A and B are shown apart, each in its own frame.
Chain A
Amino acid sequence: MEDKVDLDNMGAVMALPPAPVVLVGVGDKEKNIITVGMFNVFSVRPPILGIAVTTSRYSYKLLEENDEFTINIPGKELLDKVLACGEKSGADTDKFKLTGLTAVKGKRTKAPRIAECLINIELKKTQSFEVGDHTWYLGEIKHTDIVEKYDRKDALLYWDGEFWTAAAKPLKVLRPD
């Protein structure tokens, strides 16, 4: 491929395709929701997911203090609430009140699940580590609930200021692995 240009490193990083954006529920008496684009599957067996927050965020404190958290997959109709939970700080805002999202106690953890999301995943922290400006929290899945008519095209993707959905139809399908 010709015509490649040197780019500042962040510029290239921002050229990555978008990735899932999730709502994290954390806390027990004091609860918060945080919008997280730094999310990934770390291990399949056992199922371990990870999220990252910057250490300056209020949720950092709650994630440090609690052993459990939830990862909730919002549908695209929750976009405004996803934005609100990413822009406001739990330090001065009750995001459950602000957005009208409903906190439901976890079935196998104490962390709050978000009722309006398509998938609720309850996790127990397995490790955390710092990388540059983010702290990563990894957790093993303890319980999961999903809506019966889930379609992955309804979930949100985010990167570099843009919210997307995945295409409705796959380009190519493999045998399930």
Chain B
Amino acid sequence: MEKSEVNPIWACRAFPAFPVTLVAVGDGNGNNNIITVALVHMFSFNPPVLGIGISPARHSYEMLEASDDFSINIPSKDLVEEVLYCGQRSGRDVNKFEDCGFEPKQGKKIRSPVIEECAVSLECVKRQRVDAGDHVWYLGEVVHAEMAKDADREKSLMYWSGEFRLLGDVIRKR
């Protein structure tokens, strides 16, 4: 297969797409924020641990440093404008819950809120912190989760390299 060398950053931009999620964090006193995170992945199945990568330059970094927990919320494609808004604005300047019309709902087992309008909410308690280059990773064990009855993987919103995409075809099912 004919290939040419490219700058590593450009190669990273070539990955197909990653799930994009809304991470909510709060101090329990009504100071809540939402951050759009595409750097999110499963880290362990047993126990279930999810990780999010945050640039220390972001407002949410300070909130995440101070908090013991966070929620990962999975938006469907009809929330693409809100997802974009939460990724482009800083919680220093705006109240993203208010501006997006999202309801911060008290987490069942965490202090941070969950986002009622998302189809799936995963409540995570911080377990590990990993420094990797320009992002800090917070790994959280899922301690509680709720999911809409009609949650549909086909409505998932994917993001990478400046493009929001939906899923295309199922190539194979188990």
Query: Which residues of A are at the interface with B, using a C-beta cutoff of 8 A?
Result: 1, 3-13, 15-20, 38-50, 52, 73, 76, 79, 83, 107, 115-121, 126-127, 129, 131-134, 136, 138, 140-141, 143-148, 150, 152-153, 155-157, 161-177
B132 touches A131 (CB 8 A): no
B11 lies within 8 A of A12 (CB): no
Complex interface residues of chain B between 128 and 162 (CB less than 8 A to chain A) = 128, 130, 132-135, 137, 139, 142-151, 153, 156-158, 160-162
Do B128 and A133 touch (CB < 8 A)?
A: no
* Contact assessment for A7 and B162 in the assembled complex, using a CB-CB cutoff below 8 Å: no
Task: Report B106-141 CB contacts with A as 1/0, cut-off 8 Å.
Answer: 000000000011111110000110101111010100
Q: At the interface, is chain B mostly helix, strand, loop or mixed?
A: strand
Chain B residues, CB < 8 A from A131: 43-44, 49, 51, 127-128, 139
Nearest CB of A to B72, in Å: 9
Q: Which residues of B contact A11 (CB under 8 A)?
A: 145, 147
| B12: interface (CB < 8 Å) | yes
Instruction: Check if A147 sits within 8 Å of B44, measured CB to CB.
Output: no
B172-A162 in contact (CB<8A): yes
Partner of A163, one of B144, B160, B172: B172
Are A145 and B149 interface neighbours, CB within 8 A? no
Across the interface, which residues of B come within 8 angstroms of A121, CB to CB? 8, 11
Which listed residue (B132, B135, B144) contacts A9, Cβ 8 A?
Answer: B144
Q: Does B5 sit within 8 A of A, measured CB to CB?
A: yes
Chain A proximity of B36: nearest CB distance (Å):
12
Closest 5 CB pairs of A and B: A43-B133, A132-B44, A161-B174, A12-B145, A17-B156
Q: A162-B172, A165-B168, A165-B169 are in contact. Are A1 and B117 (CB under 8 A)?
A: yes
Whether, in the assembled complex, B167 has its beta carbon less than 8 Å from a beta carbon of chain A, the answer is yes
User: CB of B16 within 8 A of chain A?
Assistant: yes
Chain A residue nearest to B9 (CB atoms) is A47
Contacts of B43 in A (CB 8 A): 38, 52, 131-132, 134, 136
| A171 and B118 form a contact (CB under 8 A) | no
B interface list, Cβ under 8 A from A: 1-12, 14-19, 39-51, 53, 74, 77, 80, 84, 116-122, 127-128, 130, 132-135, 137, 139, 142-151, 153, 156-158, 160-174
Q: Which of B2, B47, B163 contacts A148 (CB 8 A)?
A: B2
Most buried by A among B14, B53, B116: B14
Docked-complex contact B45 and A138, CB < 8 angstroms: no
CB-CB nearest in chain B for A164: B167
Bound-complex Cα distance A76 to B170 (A): 11
Q: Look across to chain B and name the residue whose beta carbon is closest to the beta carbon of A143.
A: B5
Q: B150: nearest residue on chain A (CB-CB)?
A: A3
